[in-house]
A and B are shown apart, each in its own frame.
Chain A
Amino acid sequence: QSVLTQPPSVSGAPGQRVTISCTGSSSNIGAGFNVHWYQQLPGSAPTLLIYANDNRPSGVPDRFSGSKSGASASLAITGLQAEDEADYYCQSYDTRLSGSEVFGGGTRLTVV
């Protein structure tokens, strides 16, 4: 049971837009802590996709965007491409248990 809740899977056709939600609570996202997103391609380590809610590292296409509102955050991917097929994870900080980094359970994106 992950502290942050993500849908297990989403899918979309090439060129479409998809969103992935990340729902937290008053001890993490709702407390004002930033949300970060990672992409994990099959067989690879995760890579940073969005940091501090809505910032893209250099090299990440602007098709990827992040937002945060209240105790939730979202990752949006526009102009879906086959290479976007991957697992996506959100991450934040939680004040419980002496404070710890927490992840969502992950969302598998399938490009159909």
Chain B
Amino acid sequence: QDLLAQSGAEVKKPGASVKVSCKASGDTFKTYGISWVRQAPGQGLEWMGWISGYNGNTHYAQKFQGRLTMTTDTSTSTAFMELRSLRSDDTAFYYCARCAGRTNWFDPWGQGTLVTVSS
């Protein structure tokens, strides 16, 4: 069973950027895509976007277009999510999750990375 291991918690000031990593175990990275989902404290799940592990194609939720960038490093089976111009309402747990493609389910999930935006 492949696992996803995310980078550690971050504290950022408003206006800054954050980059979260998600490293996949196993050798199936190029077979799947990675979606990023966030969850504000006490709130529900919000899909942010998807990146193909095969060719790096991306699809972002309209809400984040312009300040979200997803990338991959296939040599280390790692996906990255960078969010810019952070605001206080970006404070959330950020999860990566493997998916076979758009419209597919998410499995497995990373353990989550808490990003706190505070002055």
Interface of B toward A, CB cutoff 8 Å: 35, 37, 44-47, 50, 59, 61-62, 95, 97, 102-103, 105-112
The total of interchain contacts (Cβ-Cβ below 8 angstroms) comes to 62
7 contacts between A and B (CB under 8 A): A46-B106, A47-B108, A51-B105, A98-B62, A99-B59, A100-B62, A101-B102
Q: What is the CB-to-nearest-CB distance from B39 to chain A, in angstroms, rounded to a whole number?
A: 8
**Contact partners of B102 in chain A: CB under 8 A:** 93, 99, 101
CB of B44 within 8 A of CB of A103, answer: yes
- A100 and B111: CB pair below 8 A? no
Q: Please name all residues of chain B whose beta carbon is closer than 8 Å to the beta carbon of A38 when the two chains form the complex.
A: 45, 106
Using A97-B61, A100-B62, A106-B45 as known contacts, say yes or no to A36 and B105 having CB atoms under 8 A apart: yes
Q: Shortest CB–CB separation between residue B98 and chain A, in angstroms?
A: 10
CB distance from A96 to the nearest CB of B (A): 9
